[in-house]
Structure 1
Amino acid sequence: MSFDSLGLNADILRAVEEQGYREPTPIQSQAIPVVLAGRDLMASAQTGTGKTAGFTLPLLQRLIDKQPHAKGRRPVRALILTPTRELAAQIGENVRDYSKYLDIRSLVVFGGVSINPQMMKLRSGVDVLVATPGRLLDLEHQNAVKLDQVEILVLDEADRMLDMGFIHDIRRVLAKLPARRQNLLFSATFSDEIKGLAEKLLHNPEEVSVARRNTASEQVTQHVHFVDKKRKRELLSQMIGEGNWQQVLVFTRTKHGANHLAEQLGKDGITAAAIHGNKSQGARTRALADFKNGGVRVLVATDIAARGIDIEELPHVVNYELPNVPEDYVHRIGRTGRAAATGQALSLVCVDEHKLLRDIERVLKREVPRMAIPGYEVDPTIPAEPIVNGRQQQRGGGRGNGGGQGQGQRRGGNGGASSERSNAPRRPSRPQGDGAAKPAGANGRRRPVRKPVSA
C-alpha cells in the first residue's frame, strides 16, 4: 500500500514525500481511512509506530475538504491534546511539516513559557491547536481562545494523560467543546480507565490496534543485570565505555537522581545531560538537540520528561532505576526499536527493586533475560530498603532520597517530572533559604529573618 491509495490531497502527499516517507505504517494504513470517513476512532499504538501521522494527515484532509469559514478571525477547528511539552512540540512540528503547502495555520501552546506570545498568536486565528491541558484552560479562562467551533478532537497518549492526573482538566475541556464533533483517542495501553473515558468520549468508534496490550516491542533486546545500588553508576559507565555506546537514553525515577547521575557520568568522562520537569523549556530543548546531534552521549531523563522524545534509530535505553508503574517500563523501552530499527534495553536492578521487576514481568507475561558482568556480583548481606513514593514522603514529612525531589507530583506523575502546570512558578508559602526577607510590614520596612537556634 502507498500513501497515494489513501485518498489524501496531492499537496499533503507532496509534503509527506518530502519527509522521506513512501509507505504508510500499519497504524497509518488502518487509522487514516477511518478518520477520513468521519468516524470516531479508538487506537492502540506504541510510540514509534507512526501514530502522529496517523491522525495528523487525515485531520488536515478533513479540514481542507470542508468549506472554509467566512472571512475574519479563524476559529480553532481541530484540537490536539497532549500530556507534555515535548510531545506537544513534536506534534506541532509534524503538523507544520505536513501542512506546508496548505492554507492551514497551526499553533502549539504549553506551560513553562510566557503566555502572552501565545495569546498574541491566537488573536490572529489558528485552524489547528496543539495544547497541553493546563495551558489550554489558562488561555480559555483569559478569553484568549474559544473552543465552540472545534470539529475534530484528538487525545494523544490518553493513558499518560490519566497517569498525570489530567482527567479533571480533560473533562473541563470537553465541556467547552461542541457536542457534534469527531473524536480520536490514541493510547499505548487500554486500561479500564481508558475504556471508561472512551465510553463517555467516543460515539460508535472504530477500534484499531497495532500492538497487543502492554506488549514490549519485539525488536528490542531486553536484559536485566542485578547489581548493588551503590555500584550502578560504575557499571553503567563501564558498559558505555567498553561497548562504545554513542547514544544512550537513561531513565531515573526522580529529578534529583537525573541531575546527580548526569553529573557523575560527566566526571567519568562521559558527556551527559539531564532532562526533567524542573529544567526550563530552553534547557530541555538544548539538551535534546545536543543528544540528537551527538554532542551529548547520554541523556538522563525522568519518565514524563521523556514523553515526546522522537529519535530515529536510538540504539540503547537503560533503566537505571525501574519505574514504580510497570506499564512505564513498556513506554521507556519503546524509545528504541522503532520502525524497522532494532535496539537494546538494559535494566540495572538492585535488591530494593525485585518486586518492581516481578510486576513488570507480570505485565510482559515473561521473564526478562538475565545477564551478568564479572566483578559486579551482588552483595547478599545488603538488605532491601523500601522505595518510598512521593505521597508517603509527604505524609511522613520526610524528604526521601531525592532531597525533596520525589516521584509524587501534584498531578500524580510517576517519573519525577511534573506536568507543565505543576512546573509553573509558585509563590512560596514562606521565605526560602536563610537569606530571604519577610514581606514588608505596614511601615514598609522589611523584617529580617531570624535564623533558628541550633540544638
Structure 2
Amino acid sequence: MNFSEIALSPEIQKAIEAEGYTQPTPIQAKAIPEVLNGRDLIGCAQTGTGKTAAFALPILELLLLDQPVHKVHHKGDKQKRSNTPIRALILSPTRELAQQIGDSFDSYGRYTGLKSTIIYGGVSQGKQMQALRYGVDILVATPGRLLDLMNQRIVSLNEVEIVVLDEADHMLDMGFIIDIKKILSTLPEKRQSLLFSATMPSEIVKLAQQMLKDPVKIQVASVSAAADPVEQQVYFIDRKYKTALLLRMLDTLPMTSVLVFSRTKHGADRLTKELNKSGVPAEAIHGDKAQTARQRALNRFKERRSRVLVATDIAARGIDVEELPYVVNYDMPDAAETYVHRIGRTGRAGLKGTAISFCANDERDTLRHIKRIVGNNAITVKTPESLPAWTPRDPSDYPEPKVLKAGKHEFIPAFHTPIKPLSKAGAAVQSILKDTSSNKKSKNVQEDSYDIEHLISKKEKSSLSDSESVALKLKAEGVDYSIIIRATGISREALIKL
C-alpha cells in the first residue's frame, strides 16, 4: 500500500511527499483508516514504528474537512483567531515527546492552514499563553502545564473533538493518572478518543475502558519483540568495571553516536562526568535538568557535537535521532518491556543497529526475565576479551595490562587501570593512613606502587576506625569512586551522601 491509496486531502498528500514518505508503516496502514472512520482506537506499537503519524495524519484530515472557511489560517495571514477553539488535544508525558509530536503536526499540516502549538512545563508561560490566545486548532500538551493553564482559565477544552493519550504506560509511570482523569472529565462527552501505548499493563486496559467507546484494537508488533535489525549483545561484568568497559568500546568500536541508558539521574550525571574527564564528549539528559539544558544537550547530540548521550528512561521518551547505530544499557532496565523500548532507539527505518547491555551479578535475574520475553537466543553473550585489542589514547597514562582478582565474582574481565588516578589515590591514602593508622609500613610505600589491590590491603592492615572519614578525604582529593569504595569498603550510596 502507498500513501496515495489512503483517502487523504491533496494538502496532506503534498506534505507527506515533501517529507519523502511513500509507504505507510504497519501501524499507519491499520490505524489511519479507522481514525478517519471516526472510531475510538487502542494502538499498541513499540517505538520507531511511526505511530505519531498514525494519529497526526487522520486528525489533520478530519479537522481540515470540517473546518469553517472563515477559520482557515494561511501562512502570512495576520487575522486574529482568538475565537478559534481547540479541536484536537494530544497529551504527552514529556516535553521532548511533546515537541516531537508538535513538529510532526507542523510538518504534515504545513499546507492545511490548521494551527497547532505545544505547551509544557519547565519554561515561561508567556509565549505559550500568547499562542493560545491567538487561537489554535491542535494543542499538544503535558498534563501538568495544561492543568495549570486550565486553572488560570487560559485554556478551554469545551469544543475538543478528538483527544489522544500518547505513551499511556509512561503517563502512569510518571504519576499523571489523576491529572489525566481531571483533564478527560472536562472534555465533551461526544468526542473521538485514541490511546497509544508501547505496553498494555492492566492499569492501561482499565483506563482505556473508561475513556474509549467500543474501540478498535491495533497491535502491529508484540511489545515483547525487539526490532529485527537490532543485534543484541550482553557483557557480564562487575558493576565497578562498567565505565572502563564502555571507555574500551568507545576506543575500539565505530561508536560515532551512542545513546547510553542509566537507571538513575545521579548515575547519568556521574557517568557523563567520567566520560568527559576521559576525553569523550558526552551529555546527560534527565528530569532534573532544566528544559533549556535538556534541549541543548539533545541538539548537541543530534548535531554530532557530543558523541554520547546518557539518559534515564523517562527523559529518553521523545528522543528521535536518525541513524543511531548503538544503544548501551549501562544499567539493566527493571522490566523486559523497558528493555525492548530502549533498544528500539536503534535499528530504525530498516538500518542496522547494535544494543549492548552491561549485566552485573545482581542484574542476572532481570536478564533471565528479558530472555524469556525476547527469546533466549536473541541475545548474544560476549566477553571483553572478544573485543579488538585496546590501544589507549595516551599509552603513557597506563601500565601494562594486568588481571585484577575478582574475589567471589565469577565473571570479572581483565582490565588495566590508569596510573594517574591510582597514583593520586595512593598519595591521598598514604597521607590519610599516616594520620589514622599506627601501621608505619605505609610510610615506606612509594606513591606509584599503589594499585587497587594494594589500597585494599593497606585498608585491611590499618586500624581505621572511621571509613567514612577516609572516604570523604579521598573524595575531596578527586579520587575515582570505584577506587574509594574498594579502598574503604563504604557503599556507593553512602559515598554519594558524603
Q: TM-score, normalised by structure 1?
A: 0.82
Q: How many residues align?
A: 391
C-alpha distance in structure 1 between counterparts of 2:147 and 2:133, whole Å: 16
Q: 2:315 is matched with which residue: 278, 286, 305?
A: 305
In structure 1, C-alpha distance between the alignment counterparts of 2:153 and 2:48, rounded to whole Å: 36
Match for residue 158 of structure 1 among 146, 152, 168:
168
- For residue 29 of structure 1, what is the aligned residue in structure 2? 29
Q: CA deviation at 1:197?
A: 1.2
Q: Specify the alignment match of 1:372 in structure 2.
A: 383
Paired position in structure 2 for 1:59: 59
Name whichever of 49-58 and 194-203 sits farther off: 194-203
RMSD, matched Cα: 2.1
Instruction: Give the superposition deviation at 1:80.
Output: 0.3
Deviates more, 1:266-275 or 1:364-373: 364-373
Residue 399 of structure 1, CA deviation: 9.9
Counterparts of 1:37-436 in structure 2 under 5 Å? 37-68=37-68, 73-366=83-376, 368-374=379-385, 379-382=406-409, 400=493, 403=496
Write out per-residue CA displacement over residues 45-83 of structure 1, whole angstroms, 9 at most, x where no aligned residue.
Answer: 111111111100000000011142876511110000011
Superposition deviation, residue 403 in structure 1 = 4.2
Shift of 1:119: 1.5
How far off is 1:334 after superposition?
0.9
**1:204: how far off?**
1.0
Does structure 2 conserve the Cα–Cα contact (< 8 Å) formed by 1:28 and 1:50?
A: yes
**Alpha-carbon displacement from aligned partner over 1:310-330 (angstroms, at most 9, x marks no partner):** 112211000001122332111
Q: Give the conservation status (yes or no) of the 8 Å contact 2:46–2:223.
A: no
Find the aligned partners of 2:495 and 2:214 in 1 and give their Cα distance.
46
CA contact (8 A) 2:224 2:336 kept: no
Q: Residue in 2 aligned with 1:391?
A: none
| Superposed displacement of residue 218, structure 1 | 2.1
Q: Taking structure 1 as reference, are residues 180 and 70 closer, same or farther at Cα in structure 2, changes over 3 Å only? A: farther
Tell me, what secondary structure is at the counterpart of 2:175?
coil
Contact 1:226 1:378 in 2 (8 A): no
* Cα pair 2:162 2:192 within 8 Å, conserved: yes
SS at match of 1:352: helix
Q: Is the 8 A contact 1:227 1:378 kept in 2?
A: no
Structure 2: distance between partners of 1:376 and 1:174: 60
CA 78–357 in structure 1, closer or farther in 2 if over 3 Å, else same: same
By relative contact order (CA 8 Å, sep 6+), the higher-ranking structure is: 1
- Asked if the contact 1:228–1:378 (Cα under 8 Å) also holds between the matched residues in 2, the reply is no
Query: Which deviations, in whole Å up to 9, do the C-alpha atoms of 1:396-438 show, x marking residues without a partner?
Result: xx9946947xxxxxxxxxxxxxxxxxxxxxxxxxxxxxxxxxx
Asked whether the 8 Å contact 1:149–1:177 carries over to 2, the reply is yes
Deviations 1:99-150 (A, max 9, x none): 1111111110111111222112111111000001111111101101001110
CA distance in 1, matches of 2:185, 2:404: 56
Shift of 1:361: 2.5
Distance 1:170 1:61, change over 3 A: same
Q: Counterpart amino acid of 2:83?
A: R
1:379 partner amino acid:
A
> 1:35 corresponds to which letter in structure 2?
V
Quote how far apart the aligned CAs of 1:244 are. Answer: 2.5
Name whichever structure is richer in helix by fraction.
Answer: 2
Q: Residue 73 of structure 1: SS of its match in structure 2?
A: coil
SS in 1 for 2:350: coil
C-alpha distance in 1, partners of 2:313/2:149? 27
Counterpart-to-counterpart distance in 2, 1:306 and 1:177? 30
Q: CA deviation at 1:377?
A: 8.8
d(CA) in 2 for partners of 1:194, 1:378:
48
Q: Deviations over 1:5-60 (max 9, x none)?
A: 11111111111111111111111111110111111111111111111111000000
Whichever residue aligns with residue 91 of structure 1, its letter is: I
Structure 1, unmatched stretches of 5+, are: 385-397, 405-455
Amino acid at match of 2:23: E
CA offsets per residue over residues 132-173 of structure 1, 9 Å max, x none?
Answer: 111111110110100111000011111111111211111111
Separation (CA, whole Å) in 2 of partners of 1:128 and 1:97? 13
Following the alignment from structure 2 to structure 1, what is the Cα–Cα distance between the partners of residues 100 and 259?
18
**What amino acid is aligned across from residue 305 of structure 1 in structure 2?**
A
SS at match of 1:170: helix
Counterpart Cα distance in 1 of 2:27 and 2:405: 43
Distance (whole Å) between structure 2 residues aligned to residue 77 and residue 238 of structure 1: 52
Paired residue type of 1:50: G
1:8-23 matches, cutoff 5 A: 8-23=8-23
**Letter of the 2:240 counterpart:** K
Pair 1:17–1:149, CA change in 2 (3 A): same
Distance 2:407 2:136 in 1: 61
Matched to 2:57, the amino acid is L
